[in-house]
Amino acid sequence: MASIKSLILQGEGVMLDFKKTITNTEKIAKSLVAFANNKGGKLLIGVADDGSIKGVKSEEEEKYMILTAAHQYCKPAIEPSFEEIYVDDRLVLVVNIPESDTKPHYALDEHKKWWAYIRIDDKSVLASKIIVDVLKQDYLDKGVLISYSDNEKKLLEYLETNERITLKEFSKLLRCSYRKAQKILVNLILTNVIKIHTTEKEEYFTAIRPH
């Protein structure tokens, strides 16, 4: 594993999150789920947001909270592994979360509701219905066959003249329900025809151009 210091220098990102301490099981479940639904990642406990190493006071307590979050606040449960590394005489607890093959995972919030999250840049973001569908199907069926109907053609023609489209614009273009538009978009994402972009404010789709 890369030295902890060089990891910290990379800063928080899609596969890395810093936590000074763990105070809240729901919050940690959200991070675990976002990593498992994505490409996996590492949590560094005992490191502040700015990258300064504070160290962990009681690794047993932190581990207990993380495992409680992973087993009781994530469904399906997540199995993280731990490494304990000393940096300048301070203990950093490294939590490794592998990419899951039982996606999507959901985290329990303080109102006892389950939500799916994914990792976007350095944040754990609520996964939209489309992303949840993609996560579900990605593992069910690697061979999605696309029959190009007029609907798909309309979308691709639209994307030839416009950079991007949202779900709302697409359902308007087809004059169909969100649900039907969503289904078509999910299939096209799974077959690598279009790409989904999620920001905190919006979600939109662009065509993947063949090189």
pLDDT, tens digit (0-9, with 9 covering 90-100), for 40-99: 999 999 999 999 999 999 999 999 999 999 999 999 999 999 999 999 899 999 999 999
Q: Check: CB of residue 3 under 8 Å from CB of residue 87.
A: no
Q: Which CATH class is domain 134-207?
A: mainly alpha
* pLDDT per residue as tens digits for the range 7-50: 999 999 999 999 999 999 999 999 999 999 999 999 999 999 99
Spatial neighbors of 142 by CB under 8 A, at least 6 apart, are: none
pLDDT in tens, 103-153: 999 999 999 999 999 998 899 989 998 999 888 887 555 555 556 688 998
- 158 in Cβ contact with 207 (< 8 Å): no
CA distance 16 to 22: 16
Exposed e or buried b per residue across 81-107, where buried means at least 16 C-beta atoms within 10 angstroms of its C-beta: eeeeeebeeebbbbbebeebeebbbbb
The four Cα atoms 195, 200, 203, 209 give a dihedral, to 10 degrees, of -30
According to CATH, the superfamily of the domain at 4-126 is Schlafen, AAA domain (3.30.950.30)
Structural domain boundaries of the chain? 4-126, 134-207
Q: Are 105 and 131 in contact (CB under 8 A)?
A: no
Q: Is the pTM of this model over 0.95?
A: no
Per-residue pLDDT at 211 exceeds 70: no
What share of the chain has pLDDT > 90, as a percent? 73
